[in-house]
Chain A
């Protein structure tokens, strides 16, 4: 019987856990930070590289490698920005971390700041997360009061400030360059890369943007034997445990800490308790709404970055949305295209026009005006957004469209076959 592997994030699954600074310290908090302050920043980056931790925000880029790109000797300050703009449909794990174990995340943020030489870190929290913002601000106040933030924390000589910054409602601000523009007080519009944020990011200074959960992995990695232990939780290049947000038609939706070598089938039927109301599974959206959909016969695959990439989909932000046999797939795709049309920033031509157009075509099916020609058109319009846009939102909008059309064509045809 598959069970959760409660190691890194056991505190958030413990209803009796005291999330104050005192409570966190009691469970061994800030020992890792003390150790890190005794290391050289390059050594910290190297150890993170060795642990193999990959970005938990959706892209899965190796974190240590990202930090090694930070430009040095520019004469400008370096910044670390935590991406807490969790808006990918299906994802609710960062909020759990911020609500239930804020100090774990903050310690990780401080470790990361030391590694990249950042003396003032920002946490970009989505504006709707009012409870999380309150808790984070209170936690940061606790750290200042305790001397762990501000001038010379733990006698390290490394002054450090943290500011909690709020967004104001835009999914696109989860994209790192759009986040930086938003942090700078502008519209959250993605920037042309190059230059990359590691060279010119926040106010033109070298910046690294990292996901909340990624940073929350760091205290464990820097505990004794942490690197080896972290690597042991998954196959090569897929290290660590991660938080999976399970939602949809399962009996027990929730946020679970799992190893990277468990199969999706087990996650759905053993952790999730199977499909509710005794129904059969129709399909799964494996990694947030941007990932290509999977049919019920494809779920015998390990749930990690590489195994899912091999079968043509992605794990993304580990947000699994399960839907049963009664689900109207066309309506589901319509809701997805509506989401992307609403969230497109509008800068570049393919995304601005394509997200809107594709949504209108799917709506046409729902209104009974579908046809084979329109189905092909939908596939074509979706495909035209792939690889031609300024940022990944175009790809994120294109992949669900193409995967739904190609995997569930009969469902679309049902809408006009009877006509």
Chain B
């Protein structure tokens, strides 16, 4: 579960709110980070104990928000936006291109566990569309060529 160093971060988070439950989402995101990008029942119970809430509450929260993943993602999680503005300038085509390049559909991971693709709703970079996020980094005005170069770069 949380290491000693991360626990100080957790304590700091808990101290910024009047009630422990209020810190649930940031702590749960931290837990996901610690567990290689996804949440297991064990981790959810651990966070439930820290924030003093029932397990069903944490499960309810984890299944509500898009960013909480209950399946292990790839080492590089490609989140491609296909929402309205990105869709107007080639977001859908970008997603299809990425799926072809990696030979998997959105919502799946490559067999070597390196890449996974997720189709996203608006990422808030609309004037700089098409936009994608790789793990925690934004990439904007991504063309199929740029995507190819990016994937090749990550493969190394």
Contact = CB atoms under 8 A, between A and B. Distances in A.
A168 B66 contact: yes
A316 interface: no
Interface string A135-154: 00000000000000000000
Given A182-B25, A188-B64, A87 B84 contact: no
Interface string A161-186: 10101111111000000000011111
Interface string A184-196: 1111100000000
A321 B84 contact: yes
B85 to A, nearest CB: 4
Contacts of A86: 124
Interface in B42-76: 51, 53, 57, 60-61, 64-68
Contacts of B84: 89-90, 285, 289, 321, 332, 335-336, 339
Given A126-B124, A170-B64, A170-B66, A185 B85 contact: no
A89 B66 contact: no
A128 B127 contact: no
A90 B24 contact: no
Nearest to B87: A335
Contact of A187 (B21, B28, B61, B67): B61
A322 B138 CA distance: 23
A169 B65 contact: yes
B150 interface: no
A268 interface: no
Interface magnitude class on chain A: 35 or more
B22 interface: yes
B28 A90 contact: no
A367 B53 CA distance: 46
Contacts, number: 145
B122 A88 contact: yes
Interface stretch (A13-21, A241-249, A299-307, A354-362): A241-249
Most buried by B among A91, A168, A183, A342: A168
A245 B123 CA distance: 14
A92 B64 contact: no
A248 B68 CA distance: 30
Interface in A310-367: 319, 321, 323, 327, 331-332, 335-336, 339, 342-343, 345
Contact of A89 (B26, B61, B126): B126
Given A88-B122, A89-B126, A342-B121, A249 B89 contact: yes
15 contacts: A86-B124, A92-B124, A128-B120, A169-B66, A170-B64, A170-B65, A186-B60, A186-B61, A188-B64, A248-B89, A319-B126, A321-B85, A323-B88, A332-B84, A335-B82
Top 9 closest A-B pairs, CB basis? A185-B24, A169-B66, A168-B65, A169-B67, A130-B136, A247-B85, A185-B21, A89-B84, A89-B122
Given A253-B128, A339-B121, 13 more contacts: A88-B122, A89-B83, A90-B85, A127-B25, A130-B133, A131-B138, A166-B29, A170-B64, A182-B25, A184-B19, A185-B19, A185-B21, A285-B84
